[in-house]
């Protein structure tokens, strides 16, 4: 009775003709306004965090090359990140954590490929931080 890989009805005599190969059902994914808005929130968070990281990376590169004197202040932080007083990686994590689990799967499906690559960098950062 507990056959994990066999479809329902495959153990019944004479059911060999009616057995369909593969999965019996797949996940239902319906794009609703909630999932589209969640996808947009993720994209905005990724864009904000990527821009913040890139700005400070450029500043550090220019500083290391000697193009900037020591008196020049670093670029201002993004107002959103400054208001929450978080780093870009933590901000993306907070945005993703606030999305309901039911909408998260479909929200991730609407991300463009470039944003998926960016999200993978953050996933890598979070995984390294945990271990």
Q: What percent of the chain has pLDDT over 90?
A: 48
Surface-to-core class of residue 118, CB atoms within 10 Å of its CB (0-12 exposed, 13-18 middle, 19+ buried): buried
**pLDDT tens-digit readout, 18-68:** 545 554 445 545 668 888 899 999 999 999 999 999 999 998 888 887 765
Cα 60 to chain centroid distance, Å, stands at: 27
pTM for the full model?
Answer: 0.71
* Whether residue 73 has pLDDT greater than 90: no
Q: Which of 5 and 73 is assigned the larger pLDDT?
A: 73
Give pLDDT tens digits for 90-117: 999 999 999 988 889 889 988 999 999 9
């Amino acid at each position: 009775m507990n056959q994990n890989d066999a479809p329902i009805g495959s153990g019944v005599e004479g059911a060999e003709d009616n057995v369909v190969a593969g999965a019996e059902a797949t996940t239902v994914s319906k794009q609703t306004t909630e999932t589209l808005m969640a996808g947009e929130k993720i994209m905005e968070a990724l864009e904000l965090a990527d821009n913040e990281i890139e700005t400070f990376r450029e500043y550090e590169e220019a500083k290391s090359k000697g193009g900037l004197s020591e008196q020049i202040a670093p670029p201002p932080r993004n107002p959103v990140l400054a208001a929450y007083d978080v780093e870009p990686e933590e901000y993306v994590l907070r945005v993703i954590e606030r999305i309901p689990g039911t909408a998260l799967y479909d929200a991730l499906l609407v991300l463009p490929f470039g944003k998926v690559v960016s999200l993978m960098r953050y996933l890598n950062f979070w995984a390294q931080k945990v271990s």
